[in-house]
Amino acid sequence: MTMCRCDGSRVTRVPIDSRDTMPEARPMPSEITPTGLRERKKEETRRLLLEGAAHLFKERGFEATTVADIAAYANVSVRTFFRYFETKEALLLPDGVEVFAYVENALSERPAEEEPLDAVCNALLEAAKPFAASTLTALSHPLEDIENVVTARLVQAFSDFEERLTVLVQRRLPPNTPDADLKAAVIACAALSAVRAVLRTRRARRASGVTDTGPDTAPLLRAFGILREIGSPGRH
């Protein structure tokens, strides 16, 4: 590219670098591909279905809530609902991989100097927030219709969870910790046993007409507090 330069009566052409005169090209905002839009829509629909289940289970109870109710909350058809969840009961136990990902992420963000049991309890509390209303509230109801359907999945989910959580806990233990594998297993199993105790106690209370008040994670918080008291060095 050249430009004209006038020097008296003489006009000369001088080569120039186009970068000196052309405005710098600005990167265009990244466009979202159709595939990306579809995935985002699917994630949003799944989130709304879980949110709807949590809200309706808590408001009406599991038994009185229908698939159509949950689908309507998410503004989708019943047919669409079944593309995401096989049954209404499936909403009680979201994908174990998804739940564990929350726990793993929450545990990785705990301070390195935090006691292992405290770190696990706090991570479980944080990870429980997206699922507490739908899972803890509904499973706490003494309903026979969900007991048989959910029990087998719940037992397997806890078993898998204990194994994977044990691995994460062991990674947090100081090097050369005596019986590190055993200590990690005890911590993981103790924390998840507290979760089981919450489900069992809330179910018994509801059967007696007693309803917990406060946030959905409050019973877990209390259970972990009791667990820490039991393991306190000053306790005899």
Decide if 184 contacts 170 (C-beta within 8 A): yes
Residue 82: name the closest of 53, 49, 55, 59 by CA.
49
Mean pLDDT by 10 residues, the chain (236 residues): 53 52 50 72 86 81 88 95 85 64 87 93 83 55 53 72 92 94 95 85 76 73 91 58
- Distances in Å between the Cα of 206 and the Cα atoms of 57, 138, 199 are 14, 11, 11
Place of tokens 């507490």: 132
Q: What is the dihedral of CA 231, 232, 234, 236, to 10 degrees?
A: -20
Q: Which domains can be identified in the chain, with CATH numbers?
A: 36-87 (1.10.10.60), 92-230 (1.10.357.10)
The pLDDT value recorded for residue 31 is 53
Q: Give the global pTM.
A: 0.60
Decide if 127 contacts 99 (C-beta within 8 A): yes
The pLDDT value recorded for residue 210 is 73
The pLDDT value recorded for residue 36 is 78
The pLDDT value recorded for residue 73 is 94
The pLDDT value recorded for residue 182 is 97
The pLDDT value recorded for residue 61 is 76
- Distances in Å between the Cα of 148 and the Cα atoms of 14, 114, 151 are 87, 39, 5
